């Protein structure tokens, strides 16, 4: 009897370990096509999804598509290595698409006249934990900023144009 109690208290301790250690977090350092650093994203697991705080500068002013892509590889200058949008559920592109959306789809990013943007978004349907929707896939994931706005409905990428900045999401 004593042995069983000991064993079960061990399991309890292990189960509560992630909470004791605090919520899972991640970081992405974004660079442009010339390899120059343009900013950072900080990610944190929350009950509503993964919160993402992006702080970037030296980008062209205007509205830009902004997504989580399915491969954690940012090879300049075109960043095609980052693959398509993170889409573990096999949906179509776009927050406004009835057949959407990709888990990695997010609202457009507005860069101010000084070339800066600072936003905080909560990305629902992804996690920093385990499973198919985890941003820590074996092949990794990456944050990508595009040259043009995302129209939020055209599959597969919202007509957002060239990839102008990329950062691999890392623990
Ligand atoms: Cu993208
Ligand atoms: Zn998409």
Residue-wise pLDDT for 21-46, tens only, equals 678 999 999 999 999 999 999 999 99
| Catalytic residue, candidates 64, 101, 105, 150 | 105
- Identify whether 64 is a catalytic site residue: no
In the chain, % of residues over pLDDT 90: 87
> From the CA of 106, which ligand is nearest?
2
| 130: annotated active-site residue | no
List the catalytic residue out of 64, 69, 101, 150: 69
In the structure encoding, which two tokens stand for residue 50, read together? 């993964």
Sorted by where each begins, the domain ranges of the chain are: 23-170
Which residue among the candidates 93, 130, 148, 150 is catalytic per the annotation? 93
Cα 131 to averaged position of ligand 1 atoms, centre (Å): 22
Residue 168 half-sphere exposure toward CB, CA atoms < 13 A: 16
Q: What is the mean pLDDT of the chain?
A: 91
> What are 10's two structure tokens?
């061990």
- Predicted pLDDT of residue 1: 45
When pLDDT is cut at 50, 70 and 90, the band that residue 10 belongs to is very low
- For 23-170, the fitting CATH number among 3.10.20.30, 3.40.50.1220, 2.60.40.200, 3.30.300.30 is 2.60.40.200
Establish whether 105 is a catalytic residue: yes
Which ligand has an atom closest to residue 141 CA?
1
Looking at the CA of 94, which ligand is closest?
2
Of 171, 169, 164, give the one whose Cα is nearest residue 56: 164
Concerning whether 101 is annotated as a catalytic residue, the answer is no
Distance, CA of 132 to chain centre: 14
| Catalytic residue flag (residue 69) | yes
């Amino acid at each position: 009897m004593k042995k069983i109690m000991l064993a079960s208290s061990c399991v309890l301790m292990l189960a509560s370990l992630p909470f004791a250690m605090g919520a899972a977090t991640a970081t992405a350092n974004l660079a442009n096509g010339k390899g120059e650093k343009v900013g950072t994203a900080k990610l944190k697991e929350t009950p509503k999804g993964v919160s993402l705080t992006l702080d970037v500068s030296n980008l062209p002013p205007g509205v830009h598509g902004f997504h989580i892509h399915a491969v954690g590889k940012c090879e300049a200058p075109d960043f095609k290595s980052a693959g398509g949008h993170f889409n573990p559920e096999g949906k179509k592109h776009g927050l406004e698409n009835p057949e959407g959306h990709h888990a990695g789809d997010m609202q457009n990013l507005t860069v101010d006249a000084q070339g800066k943007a600072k936003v905080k978004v909560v990305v629902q349907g992804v996690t920093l934990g385990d499973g198919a929707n985890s941003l820590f896939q074996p092949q990794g994931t990456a944050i990508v900023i595009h040259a043009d706005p995302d129209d939020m409905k055209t599959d597969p990428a919202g007509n957002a144009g060239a990839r102008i900045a990329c950062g691999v999401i890392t623990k």
